[in-house]
A and B are shown apart, each in its own frame.
Chain A
Amino acid sequence: MSVSELIMELEMLIEKMEYVSNYPTPPYYVLARHVNIFVDYCEKALTTLEALYEKYVSQTGRRIEKVEEMIKMASARLTLARRVKYGDVAYSSDHNVIIDVLKPIDVALRELEKALGI
């Protein structure tokens, strides 16, 4: 799957995401599908990042250790993510794992941006 296709899938996932509120405007609650969408998003984002990094390496011939380390860290943390079924309770750990995966992706992207001069 190419990078453009992965980005399109990420856009579709973001369209499915719903803001929630404590006020009486639908949707009210954090439901199971919200958690699952984020797990899908993290998987796709990590795949996209890996593809972009490989492309960067193939174009420049240079490797960035910190990016590789962050990708490994995000992959390891993503294995702890849990898909929630209908009726299950979304625990604090489900929320925390997603944040823990997004953080190294962000760090790796910053390193890539720095290397590309963005």
Chain B
Amino acid sequence: MSFTSSFIPLQSSLKSAVRRIYLRVLTDVAKTVDYTVKFELKSVRDTAKAQEYIRRAVMKRLADDMKALDYIASKTYFIRRLVDGIEVFDYIATRTAFYRSAFDSFIGEHELKSVRARAIIDTVKAADYTRRKPLKVVRDTGRAGDYTRKTPLKLIVDQSKVADYTRKTPYKSILDTVKNIDWHTRTAKFNIPILDVCEAVDYMCRLSFKRFIDTCRALDYTRTLTYKRLIDTCRAIDYTKKMSVKRLLDMSRAVEYVGKIAVKSILDSGETFDFIGWKAHYHKILVDSVEAFDYIATRTMFYKSILDGFIGEHEVKGVRVKAIADVMRVGDYTCKAALKPILETVGAVDYSRLEALKHLEEVCRATDYASKTSIKQLLDSANVTDWYTRTVKFIVGLMDVSVTYDYVRRMPSKHLHDVYLGADYTRIQTCKKLIDAIIGVDYTRRATAKRLLDECRGVDMSKIWMYKSLLDLAVGVDYTARYTCKALIDVAEAFDFIKLVASFVRSVADWLVGEHVVERTPSLRLMDSTRTLDYTRRYIDKQFIEQISSVDYARKIPLKRLADSVKSLDWHAVFTGRMVTLTDFAKPYDYVRRTPVKSLVDWVVGEHVPVRGVDKRLIDEVYGVDYTCRAVVKRLVDEASIVDFSRIRVLKLLLDSARVHELRAVRELGKFLLDQLRALDYVERIRLKEIFEALKVNEMFAKDVAKRVLEALTPADYLRKTFEKSIIADAEAWDRYSKVTSYHVSLHEVVEAYDVMKKDILKVYRDYVVVRDAPYRRLILSFIDRLVDEGGVAKIPSIRLRDKAVLREIVSKVGFTVRDIYVRRAYTLPREFKALWDIIMAEDHNAKIDIAKALLNALKKVAEKLGE
């Protein structure tokens, strides 16, 4: 009793103590939970702030990229203006060819043509060089700009992925923590370690954000620097283009001015030549008149002397006046008779002369019309000069005959002499002006070429600086690529299961395509990748066709069976309708009612089992692939965060070293870049090989899936046949008693159930195909984007210039070696390349003479040997 009486208060006090302790523990737990909840809320708030900062940074960079895209659009306008400049060059070339042909037609002087042609060809060469150089610079700038545009975007995407990962990780940790808290709350065994975990999570979260923010700042600095240098380079190129176009236009104006002066001089010379020809014609008429007059004078003097003789005789003798008068009359008659034919002769001669002159004038007109070249007119003038010389000699002889004709002789000769002097002076002045103009054009061409060369050197320097800055960026990216590649190789080696390798290799292929922009020689890799793509496309098509065939087979078989079943059903209904009466169905009514229901349920269950097996296998495969992708992505993200940190450090070091020793750093970076490219090339080849192997395995896997689908369809077909048999056996009861019973299952409902299952199968298969083909679609899209971006910068002008340059190179090398003497063929081109037409040089003609002599010597030797 005493023990009991003493135990009860002890028990109550113990209970009270335990209750207090329990309450205290509960209070502590509540406080801890409250603190933990507050701490978690604070961490979540900080995370939200960091996310907001990341979002703003990403938006700001996207805005910068939009500005860069606007600048690229303005560069497109610049390229369009450059194409306009090329059209101006073509116009200049056309004008040059026109003036050259004008010179050839009007002047025809080989020396002048050669000099002019050389000057024009040099001008065209300079214009061609000037046109090629800015285009090359623009093309290089476009490529670099494209690379510069893509790299920040890719980095931003990577950073977004990392940010997304960083954002998700603390949430996941928090979730896990909350689960742990919940568990610890239930078990009442949590306290300080949870806080440690929360602090660790918070620290990890802050560290990740800090790293990310540092990365963003470094990227921002690099991007700003690159854009600034690119913009400076583009401004320099724009200025160079404007100056080149302006100077070429000035040069073309000078050439046009020279051409106009030359044409005017030629026209003046032509008028002078016409005047000389007309004067020569006049002088010839005068000479013919003088000859006629001389003949008449001679004849007149002869008859005058006869008359004087008669008269003298009359005076001396003084007799026979009448006879003398008769004689005089006779003489007078004789004189008249003689003079008459003389005058007729003179008239005939004059007529003949006029006819001859007329004929000569017509001939001269015809000749003048036929030739219309200055060479001919010059040579005509030379003939006239010869004729003039002979005429002068003749007139000198005439001077002894009569002084009267002296005036006639001197005036035309002096006039002709003056005319020739004037013509000579005109010709000399024309030639002098042309030579001066050519010298001026040559000087202008040289000065322009020199200035263009200087500016091109300046552009080259700008380009070198731009390349240097781009190399800095590229080296950083390559470094990242190497580390990522190494990490990927490690990950790939860790995977033994071949399907995981296939998924992994597809991811690697995506990555490699993204990193492929760094490559400077993409043709070989593009070819390999194109082969891979082609192979991938073919095998996807093949697989798809196989799968479609399987599905089509799976679709057709049950439909055919159902159709057969319906036919059998009809036949049995007719057949059993004749054999069984309505009363015979009373007893087996229940059995009959239950049997189709049972058969239908069994069929549905049996049909669903293989289908569900197929579904399960497909879903398992999808889950496996999905899990593999997630595991690979997680490892890649982990590796990327480490690589990103290393990249930031390397970039910083490189930028510092580039600032201190830029030239040395450039050389080292170039070497490093080459090494990285070689390593990338090697890794890429290995990856391609692995991709091929993985594709083979994937094909085997796809075949296995198709085989399993077909195997699953076979028992389904068997079950379907069983169901058909039961339907055939119960057909009559099915049709006849369905109206009087509450049996609700009909063939229509069975078909609907089949359709539902078919849709499910197809949906699962379509999802599987979508998941399977996603990496290939991304691969193809990346390739297409890259090809379009790189190919669209300077395709049109580059093709045109390349064709011209190649054509010119080919045609200038054609020739023969005859008797060890090289002689050039003067090439001819289509009319559209008129500016490139060739001329026969003096060396070509002289080489032919040497060849002719050598051939003659050879013929002589052969003839001697044959005894000739």
Contacts from A to B (Cβ < 8 Å): 2-4, 7, 10-11, 13-14, 17, 19-22, 24, 28-30, 34, 38, 41, 45, 48-49, 52, 55-56, 59, 86-87, 89-93, 95-96, 98-100, 102-103, 105-106, 109, 112-113, 116, 118
Contacts of A48 in B (CB 8 A): 859, 863
CB distance from B371 to the nearest CB of A (A): 4
With A89-B104, A99-B818, A106-B819: A118-B840 Cβ-Cβ less than 8 Å: no
Q: How far is the CA of A48 from the CA of B858 in the complex (A)?
A: 11
Contacts of A116 in B (CB 8 A): 862, 865-866
CB contacts under 8 Å to A, within B839-868, are 839-842, 844-846, 848-849, 851-853, 855-856, 858-863, 865-868
Q: Are B816 and A29 in contact (CB under 8 A)?
A: no
Q: Are A102 and B818 in contact (CB under 8 A)?
A: yes
Q: Are B111 and A29 in contact (CB under 8 A)?
A: yes
With A30-B842, A87-B373: A17-B861 Cβ-Cβ less than 8 Å: no
Q: Are B866 and A52 in contact (CB under 8 A)?
A: yes
Q: Are A90 and B862 in contact (CB under 8 A)?
A: no
Task: Return the chain B residue nearest A93 by Cβ.
Answer: B828
With A95-B826, A109-B858, A116-B866: A19-B844 Cβ-Cβ less than 8 Å: no
Q: How far is the CA of A34 from the CA of B792 in the complex (A)?
A: 54
Contact partner, A41, options B109, B838, B852, Cβ 8 Å: B852
Contacts of A24 in B (CB 8 A): 111
CB distance from A34 to the nearest CB of B (A): 7
With A14-B852, A92-B840: A7-B860 Cβ-Cβ less than 8 Å: yes
Q: Are A38 and B852 in contact (CB under 8 A)?
A: yes
Contacts of A20 in B (CB 8 A): 110, 842, 845-846
CB distance from A18 to the nearest CB of B (A): 8
Contacts of B846 in A (CB 8 A): 19-20
A sample of 7 cross-chain residue pairs with beta-carbon separation below 8 angstroms, ordered by A number, consists of: A10-B859, A19-B845, A49-B859, A86-B376, A102-B852, A102-B855, A118-B861
Q: How far is the CA of A11 from the CA of B231 in the complex (A)?
A: 73
Q: How far is the CA of A17 from the CA of B547 in the complex (A)?
A: 85
Task: Return the chain B residue nearest A29 by Cβ.
Answer: B110
Contacts of B111 in A (CB 8 A): 22, 24, 28-29
Per-position contact with A for B562-576: 1 when CB-CB < 8 Å, else 0? 000000000000000
Q: Is B114's CB within 8 Å of the partner chain A?
A: yes
Contacts of B825 in A (CB 8 A): 92, 95-96, 99-100
Q: Is B784's CB within 8 Å of the partner chain A?
A: no
CB distance from B365 to the nearest CB of A (A): 15
CB distance from B867 to the nearest CB of A (A): 8
Q: Are A10 and B849 in contact (CB under 8 A)?
A: no
Q: How far is the CA of A17 from the CA of B845 in the complex (A)?
A: 10
Contacts of B862 in A (CB 8 A): 52, 109, 112-113, 116, 118
Q: Are B840 and A30 in contact (CB under 8 A)?
A: yes
Q: Are A11 and B856 in contact (CB under 8 A)?
A: yes
Task: Return the chain A residue nearest B844 by Cβ.
Answer: A95
Q: Are A102 and B851 in contact (CB under 8 A)?
A: yes
Q: How far is the CA of A98 from the CA of B818 in the complex (A)?
A: 12
Contacts of B858 in A (CB 8 A): 106, 109, 113
Q: Are B109 and A28 in contact (CB under 8 A)?
A: yes
Task: Return the chain A residue nearest B115 by Cβ.
Answer: A22
* Interface of B (DSSP majority class): helix
Total contacts A to B, CB within 8 angstroms? 129
Beyond A24-B111, A49-B859, A99-B815: 11 further Cβ-contacts under 8 Å? A4-B863, A7-B863, A20-B110, A20-B845, A28-B110, A30-B110, A38-B852, A99-B848, A102-B855, A109-B858, A116-B865
Q: How far is the CA of A92 from the CA of B837 in the complex (A)?
A: 9
Task: Return the chain B residue nearest A96 by Cβ.
Answer: B825
Q: Are B828 and A95 in contact (CB under 8 A)?
A: no
Q: Are A102 and B865 in contact (CB under 8 A)?
A: no
Q: Is B370's CB within 8 Å of the partner chain A?
A: yes
Q: Is B30's CB within 8 Å of the partner chain A?
A: no
Contacts of B110 in A (CB 8 A): 20, 22, 28-30
Contacts from B to A (Cβ < 8 Å): 104, 108-111, 114, 370-371, 373, 375-376, 815-816, 818-819, 823, 825-828, 837-842, 844-846, 848-849, 851-853, 855-856, 858-863, 865-868
Q: Are B109 and A29 in contact (CB under 8 A)?
A: yes
Q: Are B376 and A102 in contact (CB under 8 A)?
A: no
Contacts of A21 in B (CB 8 A): 842
CB distance from A36 to the nearest CB of B (A): 13
Contacts of B855 in A (CB 8 A): 45, 102, 105-106, 109
CB distance from B774 to the nearest CB of A (A): 64
Q: How far is the CA of A113 from the CA of B864 in the complex (A)?
A: 11
Q: How far is the CA of A92 from the CA of B839 in the complex (A)?
A: 7
CB distance from A16 to the nearest CB of B (A): 10
Q: How far is the CA of A29 from the CA of B841 in the complex (A)?
A: 9
Q: How far is the CA of A21 from the CA of B815 in the complex (A)?
A: 21
Q: Are A38 and B848 in contact (CB under 8 A)?
A: yes
Q: Are A14 and B861 in contact (CB under 8 A)?
A: no
Q: Are A55 and B866 in contact (CB under 8 A)?
A: yes
Q: How far is the CA of A59 from the CA of B862 in the complex (A)?
A: 13
With A3-B863, A45-B859, A48-B859: A96-B826 Cβ-Cβ less than 8 Å: yes
Q: How far is the CA of A34 from the CA of B376 in the complex (A)?
A: 16
Contacts of A109 in B (CB 8 A): 855, 858-859, 862
Contacts of A105 in B (CB 8 A): 855
CB distance from B23 to the nearest CB of A (A): 117
Q: Are B818 and A103 in contact (CB under 8 A)?
A: yes
Q: Are B818 and A106 in contact (CB under 8 A)?
A: yes
Q: How far is the CA of A56 from the CA of B858 in the complex (A)?
A: 15
Closest 7 CB pairs of A and B: A92-B826, A29-B110, A87-B371, A3-B868, A106-B818, A20-B842, A116-B865
Q: How far is the CA of A47 from the CA of B210 in the complex (A)?
A: 97
Task: Return the chain A residue nearest B823 by Cβ.
Answer: A99
With A10-B856, A90-B840: A102-B848 Cβ-Cβ less than 8 Å: yes
CB distance from A35 to the nearest CB of B (A): 9
Contacts of A91 in B (CB 8 A): 828
Contacts of A49 in B (CB 8 A): 859
Q: How far is the CA of A48 from the CA of B133 in the complex (A)?
A: 55
Contacts of A28 in B (CB 8 A): 109-111
Q: Are A7 and B856 in contact (CB under 8 A)?
A: yes
CB distance from A17 to the nearest CB of B (A): 5
Q: How far is the CA of A99 from the CA of B865 in the complex (A)?
A: 27
Q: How far is the CA of A112 from the CA of B864 in the complex (A)?
A: 13
With A52-B863, A56-B866, A109-B859: A14-B848 Cβ-Cβ less than 8 Å: no
Contact partner, A113, options B371, B373, B861, Cβ 8 Å: B861
CB distance from B112 to the nearest CB of A (A): 10
Q: Are A118 and B848 in contact (CB under 8 A)?
A: no
CB distance from B38 to the nearest CB of A (A): 97
Q: How far is the CA of A87 from the CA of B368 in the complex (A)?
A: 11
Q: How far is the CA of A55 from the CA of B863 in the complex (A)?
A: 9
Task: Return the chain A residue nearest B825 by Cβ.
Answer: A96
Contacts of B845 in A (CB 8 A): 19-20, 30, 34, 95
Q: How far is the CA of A29 from the CA of B378 in the complex (A)?
A: 14
Q: Are B849 and A95 in contact (CB under 8 A)?
A: no
Q: Are A22 and B842 in contact (CB under 8 A)?
A: yes
Q: Are A17 and B859 in contact (CB under 8 A)?
A: no
Q: Are B852 and A17 in contact (CB under 8 A)?
A: yes
Q: Are A22 and B848 in contact (CB under 8 A)?
A: no
Contacts of A106 in B (CB 8 A): 818-819, 851, 855, 858
Q: How far is the CA of A92 from the CA of B841 in the complex (A)?
A: 10
Contacts of B826 in A (CB 8 A): 92, 95-96
Contacts of B823 in A (CB 8 A): 99
Contact partner, A4, options B108, B849, B868, Cβ 8 Å: B868
Q: How far is the CA of A3 from the CA of B860 in the complex (A)?
A: 9
Q: Are A87 and B376 in contact (CB under 8 A)?
A: yes
